[in-house]
């Protein structure tokens, strides 16, 4: 990888976190998957799979994947609004970190360069 395509370390870290979180969630929830609860757990597995997709394609420099990652975290903020205040605050902080990293100039330059090569 040449210097023009160098991936920022924070983007790499968030990508890996998404992949590990997504895979961990899939492994955790797949054992709960039954035909009687197909829709509910199917949606949970889909959300987890989207984290993996976002992480993998962010590593590859696909700009759409960073927006998928932002939507994924935003979704969790909305869902956590129906849970405890602590969970909501945690997800808001995670969203802020993702926004800071993925919407910053360094990440924007990386995704722009990756898409033009």
Note the pLDDT tens digit of each residue in 37-57: 777 888 888 999 999 999 999
Residues above pLDDT 90, as percent of the chain? 74
pLDDT score, position 1: 41
pTM of the model: 0.86
- The whole-angstrom separation of Cα 18 and Cα 84 is 23
pLDDT band at 30; cut points 50, 70, 90? confident
pLDDT score, position 2: 43
Distance (Å) of CA 72 to CA 1, 6, 22, 117: 28, 25, 11, 27
What does the mean pLDDT of the chain come to? Answer: 91
């Amino acid at each position: 990888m040449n210097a023009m395509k160098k991936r920022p370390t924070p983007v790499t870290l968030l990508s890996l976190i998404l992949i590990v979180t997504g895979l961990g969630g899939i492994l955790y929830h797949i054992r709960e998957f039954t035909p009687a609860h197909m829709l509910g757990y199917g949606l949970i597995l889909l959300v987890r799979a989207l984290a993996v997709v976002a992480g993998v394609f962010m590593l590859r420099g696909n700009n759409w994947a960073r927006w998928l990652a932002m939507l994924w975290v935003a979704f969790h903020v909305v869902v956590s609004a129906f849970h405890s205040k602590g969970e909501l605050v945690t997800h808001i902080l995670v969203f802020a970190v993702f926004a800071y990293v993925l919407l910053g100039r360094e990440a924007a330059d990386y995704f722009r360069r990756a898409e033009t090569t």
